[in-house]
Structure 1
Amino acid sequence: MAKIKMKNSVTVADTFHHILTARNAWGLSEKAISTYGQHFSAFSKHLSADTQIDKLKKADLETTISSMRDAGLAANSSKSNTRTLKSFFSRCNAEGVTRLNQPLYKAEETVKETYTEEELKALVCKPSTRK
Structure 2
Amino acid sequence: MRRRKQPILDPKDAGVDMTPMLDIVFILLIFFIVTTSFVKEKGFLVEHLKNNKASSTPSNNIMIHLDANNIIYFNGKSVDIERLPARVEYFIANNPTENILFRPHENTNYQKVVEVLDELKQFSHLKINIGINSQ
Radius of gyration: which is bigger?
2
User: Which structure shows the bigger proportion of residues in helix conformation?
Assistant: 1
User: Which structure shows the bigger proportion of residues in strand conformation?
Assistant: 2
TM over 0.5: no
TM-score computed with the length of structure 2 as normaliser: 0.29
